[in-house]
Amino acid sequence: MTGAAHELVFGMGPDPAVAPDWPPLSRAELDPVLREVGLGGAADLEWRSPRPLSAACRVRTADGRVVVVKRLPKALRTPEALGEEHAFADHLRANGIPVPVTFGARHGDAAVRGRDFSYEVQSVGVGDDRYGGDFSWTPYLSVDHARAAGRMLARLHVAAHRFDAPPRPARPLLSRLHTFGPGDPISKVADLIRQRPAVATFLAARDWRTDIARVHLPHHRRLAPLLDDLEPLWTHNDWHGTNLLWRGDGPSSRVTAVIDFGLSDRTTAVFDLATAIERSAVDWLAIRGGGAANVRFDQIRALLSGYGEVRKLTAAERRALPLLFPLVHADYELSEIDYFLSVVPGGNPENAEIAYRDYFLGHTAWIDTPAGHSLRNALA
């Protein structure tokens, strides 16, 4: 697909802007979706998201309201699967976390059903989208933003404590503490292969057992004795500036809305905290391009400081944080391989290879470089 520059999305490879896998949302497509949730149809498309894994846009409705609509293929999220996310978001909102409202019925019916897609319609949330045009691994704009993000993440973990839904089943694009949680990681990947045929075909062409034994298992052996001491908790699992809305500048900066619960699942608080650091503190794109790592130690300190103002880490969490960091992305990358091969029309084997080589293996392997050691020692 080719298109105008405003229709391009972020790429995983060396090209930062690529043609999307999914066609952009149109007014004709959105009009019946908005009518179904009582918003009077679409009047104007104000902005299209550059995020590559689904199509989303900000729309002004015929009755003057502004909403965000996301289209997701049912192979990725059925309305019932979206209902898992909406139930968690509803719980957080009821306990003081500023989460935008989803239009439509609750939970399983909160997404509009299309023939091949689910459509999620949400209010825009209060605040400024300071990172709307930035790649997901972008560092925070300031240490003040990092500190404010840490405070809100801790508030979310406190609010999540009474949400007792079970873990989500294996699906494309989920961030979990499963493969490198309790138990044998090799057996866990073998189980995944039995459940997800596209992953099975992809890994059959690779010596994945040797790769995991070499790259991941030394870290898992150090982490495993601590896992039973980490309390299970539903968590956001995609915490970075692009999923937050903002007000104020400098020390008065604050998070005014939390968005995008697509990767949420039952993990642990320190898993979510390690994810927040992994998503914002390391310049992964520079590393992949052969450049030196730019680790934002100042932002790590600020994020952890803000978090600790609201919720103190337990002794087990403090010990686990530096050991969990090298593995926190791994389950997501396996699920991303599944997405590129089983959900994207026609498949995208190039991106699946990037996900395996540069992300699943590459991020963990980087921890054993001098820069990675410095980061792990700082977290300790």
pLDDT digits (tens, 9 = 90+) for 231-285: 999 999 999 999 999 999 999 999 999 999 999 999 999 999 999 999 999 988 7
Is 0.75 topped by the overall pTM? yes
Nearest to 222 by CA among 18, 368, 85: 368
**Which residues in the chain show pLDDT less than 50?**
1-5, 105-110
Domain ranges of the chain: 5-123, 143-379
261 within 8 A of 89, measured Cβ to Cβ: yes
292 within 8 A of 326, measured Cβ to Cβ: no
What mean pLDDT value characterizes the chain?
Answer: 90
Residue found by looking up tokens 């998070």 in the block: 255
At 243 the pLDDT is 95
Whole-number Å distance between alpha carbons of 191 and 88: 27
Question: Would you tell me which CATH number, out of the four given (3.90.226.10, 3.30.200.20, 3.30.70.260, 3.40.1590.10), belongs to the domain 5-123?
Answer: 3.30.200.20
At 108 the pLDDT is 39
Burial of 66 (0-12, 13-18, 19+ CB in 10 A): middle
At 48 the pLDDT is 86
Residue found by looking up tokens 């959900």 in the block: 343
30 within 8 A of 120, measured Cβ to Cβ: no
At 189 the pLDDT is 97
Whole-number Å distance between alpha carbons of 380 and 304: 12
Q: What is the pLDDT of residues 84-119, one digit of tens each?
A: 999 999 999 999 999 999 986 443 344 555 568 889
At 112 the pLDDT is 55
At 136 the pLDDT is 74
Question: Would you tell me which CATH number, out of the four given (3.90.1200.10, 3.30.565.10, 3.40.50.460, 3.40.50.10860), belongs to the domain 143-379?
Answer: 3.90.1200.10
At 362 the pLDDT is 93
At 116 the pLDDT is 84
At 7 the pLDDT is 72
At 292 the pLDDT is 63
